[in-house]
Amino acid sequence: MGASADGPIGVFDSGVGGLTVLAEIRRALPAEHLCYVADSGHAPYGERAPELVRARAEAITGFLIEQGAKAIVIACNTATGIAAAHLRALHELPIIAMEPAVKPAAACTKSGVVGVLATSGTLKSEKFEALRGRFHGPVQVLTQPCPGLVELIETGDFEAEALRGLVADLVSPLLERGADTLVLGCTHYPLLHGLISDIAGPGVRITDAGAAVARHVRNRLAETGLLRDADNTPGDQRCWTSAAAPDASAALIRRLLGAAVPVAKLPC
């Protein structure tokens, strides 16, 4: 069966981080139906074996296609590096992936030093090494792996002292080395935008790729004739979680989305 413009866009991440991308897609494409999978039961992808991340990406993509998805958004930098090419080889539908926003950061730095915060998995990937290689030279692209950060974000307690301490420890070395632009290279980190900006201070610019990905989704759907008519009723949203405590996970998803969306337990 061919994909239909009325089908949902399937979006997934290792947890709640991809909701930052979902929010941008919702802003850019209000008529689209959206299906979101938070694979919180397997977070953090950044610290897992690539084979496991690839297998999860494949299973979740299959599940979203069963829900009628007309396109898939890998709202996760780590899964992009590990599984995007594999998913594209398996499926014909548009598969849109993430890339840390190094390009816009390199274009706007004044100090010539950009700091990228991302998972160890992303920073180790060949895809990231190639991206860094495109810009490193004219500007200095510093990298900072952030083990432990996604786990703290997944608890949903953004006021925790431990979270503030860890963010300060991660951001300070980049600032000390002259970074005036920070790239949030994991979709969980924009949830901490206020905290990071508070720690970094007013002179530091913070970028992420969410809005650019939403524009890319719109372009791919337009090219493939799959955009849902904007005159239609507003699109709906449905979510699934693989968290061991699905009720708490559902409450966090609803809080972050600011909406009473249905959240079910992921069957795969």
| Sequential DSSP letters for 69-123 | -SEEEE--HHHHHHHHHHHHHH--S-EE----SHHHHHHH-SSSEEEEEE-HHHH
Report yes or no: 89 and 116 within 8 Å, Cβ to Cβ: no
Decide whether 119 or 237 has the Cβ nearer to ligand DGL: 119
Q: Would residue 76 show up in a list of annotated catalytic residues for this protein? A: yes
210 binds ligand DGL (CB under 6 A): no
Stretch that binds ligand DGL, among 87-95, 182-190, 205-213, 231-239 (CB under 6 A): 182-190
Please pick, from the candidates 17, 145, 190, 246, the single residue that binds ligand DGL as defined by CB under 6 A: 17
46 binds ligand DGL (CB under 6 A): yes
Stretch that binds ligand DGL, among 43-51, 129-137, 164-172, 257-265 (CB under 6 A): 43-51
Binding-site string for ligand DGL from residue 131 to residue 150, where x marks contact by CB under 6 A and - marks none: -------------------x
Q: Which two tokens stand for residue 9?
A: 């866009």
Helices 77-90 & 50-66 angle (0-180, nearest 10)? 60
Could you give the angle at the alpha carbon of 127 between the alpha carbons of 169 and 194, nearest 5°?
Answer: 35
Binding-site string for ligand DGL from residue 92 to residue 131, where x marks contact by CB under 6 A and - marks none: ---------------------------x--x---------
Q: Please provide the distance, in angstroms rounded to a whole number, between the alpha carbons at the two ends of the chain.
A: 22
Q: Would residue 108 show up in a list of annotated catalytic residues for this protein? A: no
In a 3-state reduction of DSSP, which class is residue 9? strand
Please pick, from the candidates 163, 186, 214, 257, the single residue that binds ligand DGL as defined by CB under 6 A: 186
Report yes or no: 115 and 144 within 8 Å, Cβ to Cβ: yes
Burial class for 210, CB neighbours closer than 10 Å (0-12, 13-18, 19+): buried
> What distance lies between CA 267 and its chain's CA centroid?
22
Minimum separation from the CB atom of position 198 to ligand DGL (A): 21
Binding-site string for ligand DGL from residue 146 to residue 175, where x marks contact by CB under 6 A and - marks none: ----x-------------------------
Report yes or no: 221 and 94 within 8 Å, Cβ to Cβ: yes
Active-site residue (options: 35, 146, 186, 239): 186
How many residues bind ligand DGL (CB under 6 A)? The answer is 17
14 binds ligand DGL (CB under 6 A): yes
Residue 1 to residue 64: CA distance in whole angstroms: 15
40 binds ligand DGL (CB under 6 A): no
Decide whether 3 or 256 has the Cβ nearer to ligand DGL: 256
Chain contacts with ligand DGL (rule: CB under 6 A): 13-15, 17, 43-46, 76-78, 119, 122, 150, 186-188
Catalytic residues: 76, 186
